[in-house]
Copies of this chain bind each other. A is one copy, B any other.
Amino acid sequence: MSSDNRLSRMLHVLIHMDQREHPLTSDEIARMLNTNPVVVRRTMAGLRDNGYVTSEKGHGGGWKLARPLDQLTLLDVYVALGNPPVFALGLADDDPRCLVEQAVNDGLNEALGKARQLLLDRFGKVTLADLAADFRKRFEAHRKRPAKRVS
């Protein structure tokens, strides 16, 4: 597992939750994600703390969406996960004495900062409803052409 899949997984789950009436249990979600319920609870905890989903214990319990998908952006979910690092690339020393390294840091920071900003701006503009709409389009196409296309 080289990379952090939490955002991807949470988006996936949230859209499924919107498609269903009843709450989803951690166990059901775990099967969707090919993982196990503890990982699900651990990851969803941030979304719960931010009020995007609610969890209920006992019979008939599980996870429910707390707001419509068009009021939830990818950025909201990303932030709810605790702003995990975007880049695998980093600086050798954040506050170096060497003037050469300071110049290098500034050059890299400018490029990384711009890329990060572009990414997060985009995340902030895309709602989960946008992704769900894309899903519905695929679903319609799939009904008409259920055979596998191998391009």
Chain A residues with a Cβ under 8 A of chain B: 2-5, 7-9, 11-12, 15-16, 19, 32-34, 74, 84-93, 98-108, 110-112, 114-116, 118-119, 122-123, 126, 130-132, 134-135, 138-139, 142
Q: Tell whether, in the assembled complex, residue B11 and residue A107 are in contact, meaning their CB atoms are under 8 Å apart.
A: yes
Known: A112-B119, A138-B103. A4 touches B98 (CB 8 A): no
Chain B residues with CB under 8 A of A74: 107-108, 111
**CB distance B89 to A111 under 8 Å?**
no
Q: Are A104 and B5 touching (Cβ within 8 A)?
A: no
Which chain B residues lie closer than 8 Å to A11 at the CB level?
A: 104, 107-108
Of the candidates B9, B93, B102, B112, the one whose C-beta lies within 8 Å of that of A138 is B102
A131 near B103 with CB under 8 A, answer: yes
6 tightest A-B CB contacts, nearest first: A3-B90, A115-B119, A103-B135, A103-B134, A111-B122, A5-B92
Cα A111 to Cα B108 with chains together (Å):
20
Q: A108: which of B7, B100, B101, B103 is its contact (CB, 8 Å)?
A: B7
With A15-B103, A131-B104 given, is the CB distance from A8 to B123 under 8 Å? no
Residues of B within 8 A of A107 (CB): 11, 74, 126, 130-131, 134
Known: A74-B111, A116-B115, A119-B112. A89 touches B100 (CB 8 A): no
